Chains A and B, each alone.
Chain A
């Protein structure tokens, strides 16, 4: 199993989000070029899991973010950490809309 989140992109809009199960997991939000703007997670604190987390992203970044891809996992916290580490490894910095501090993200050399 690959460790990168490489699922198919979906349109970031209310209709698509409403069709998602209310489960826990991680996601990428990206602009129309496919540039990842943020890596997030839907945790147990989100009322309707993935749906609520992506609604928040739509509210916050809907002007630039046009698509998303996701993965359901109960290990959303450690998987989120892993995706941030992977992004840092691949691009040398965190996504532009990321709230996490770069100094708090670990190092990973997967290749």
Chain B
């Protein structure tokens, strides 16, 4: 497999790297170390800049006005965009724009008018409500939120947990059980406006991400029109699952950026910091940590690019995406841990971004399917004989 970048990819990578270093990093010097957003004036200025560069709305399909990047180029950009303090969860503070909920591209024309296009214009926000208190790793079986048909409406009752952005969302994509099938064939996806009576944001859930919170939702006999169903009745799990698979590659790529930046910082530190009469870089203990970091970073990068290239070539990539997610999240966590060790005391302070990356990377090993689920996915393919 050839991992060399073509001319266009190299240009995009270089441009993104310059943007991060010249536009984002200087602003962070004046922000709270746990900040999750820019000042509105800075945000607007940088959005105008990414729009003029033709990079706004990276994940929006070309036919809807996006730049039409393939998965490999998108992954390469994700690696660059995450090389700053907030970069793991807020790459470039969102100035490259979002795509909204990818599932809405499969919506009906009427649904697109009501939710997709306003989202792409920045007029509406959506949230993705799948996980429940009963579990998130096996959503097909864990979903207990019920949808009962009543004439031309459905009545939804239940709760969701660890939902990001629900408190500020205009609508939610909610998955509910709509048949007696206890598995994946009994789940339907509903698009629900958050001002619907019965929609409640009950609780803020604080996490290791100090700047960001999840929420717990409760639905009390919420009446939803039939036309708000996304896809087919009882066909919702395929919609949810599709997102989970596709999401893994950029999710994995975004973990590599902080590891690369931390490694660069550690190399600079090791060359300049002296102990016992010589630079840290001359101590074998430090040299080995730096080498182990390099192995982890390259391993993660190769896995991500292999998964991305398979996705771009139309091949099956489920196993490769799971491997990329597993390797990138775990390898990057090890890198940050070693980099803190190399830096010593200053590594655990908020003077440097290392402590933030350390906390936030821990979540990455759980979010979007924990490492154990990724292994389960790979085992099914390998043992089932479908892995090539």
Contact = CB atoms under 8 A, between A and B. Distances in A.
Interface of A: 3, 43-45, 74-79, 81-82, 85, 104, 106-110
A109 B213 CA distance: 16
Given A45-B32, A77-B32, A77-B34, A107 B167 contact: yes
Nearest to B34: A77
A43 B36 CA distance: 13
A109 B202 contact: yes
Contact of B210 (A78, A106, A108, A109): A78
Given A78-B211, A85-B167, A108 B34 contact: no
Looking at chain A's contact residues, the main secondary structure is loop
Interface of B: 31-36, 167-168, 194, 200-204, 206-207, 209-213, 350
A23 B82 CA distance: 29
Given A106-B167, A106-B201, A78 B212 contact: yes
Given A77-B35, A77-B211, A108-B203, 16 more contacts: A43-B34, A44-B32, A76-B34, A78-B209, A78-B210, A78-B211, A78-B213, A79-B206, A81-B204, A85-B167, A104-B168, A106-B167, A107-B168, A107-B194, A107-B201, A108-B167
Contacts, number: 59
Contacts of B194: 107
Given A44-B350, A82-B213, A77 B36 contact: yes
B40 to A, nearest CB: 9
A77 B203 CA distance: 16
Looking at chain B's contact residues, the main secondary structure is loop
B26 to A, nearest CB: 16
Contacts of B35: 77
B162 to A, nearest CB: 13
A109 B210 CA distance: 22
B34 A82 contact: no
A79 B213 CA distance: 9
B71 to A, nearest CB: 32
30 contacts: A3-B204, A43-B32, A43-B33, A44-B32, A44-B350, A45-B33, A74-B210, A75-B206, A75-B210, A76-B34, A77-B32, A77-B34, A77-B35, A77-B211, A78-B206, A78-B212, A78-B213, A79-B206, A81-B204, A81-B213, A82-B204, A85-B167, A85-B204, A104-B168, A106-B201, A107-B167, A108-B167, A108-B201, A108-B202, A110-B203
A45 B210 CA distance: 14
A15 to B, nearest CB: 28
Contacts of A108: 167, 201-204
Contacts of B168: 104, 106-107
Contacts of B209: 78
Contact of A77 (B167, B200, B202, B210): B210
A28 B331 CA distance: 42
A43 B35 CA distance: 10
Contacts of A107: 167-168, 194, 201
Contacts of B207: 75, 78
A76 B213 contact: no
Contacts of A75: 206-207, 210
Nearest to A73: B206
Nearest to A108: B201
A3 B33 CA distance: 25
A110 B350 contact: no
Contacts of B203: 3, 108, 110
A110 B36 contact: no
A76 B204 CA distance: 13
A104 B203 CA distance: 18
Contact of A78 (B33, B200, B204): B204
A-B residue pairs, 4 tightest by C-beta: A106-B167, A44-B350, A78-B213, A82-B204
A101 B145 CA distance: 34
B36 A109 contact: no
B204 A44 contact: no
B33 A44 contact: yes
Nearest to B359: A74
Nearest to A77: B211
A3 B31 CA distance: 27
Nearest to B195: A107
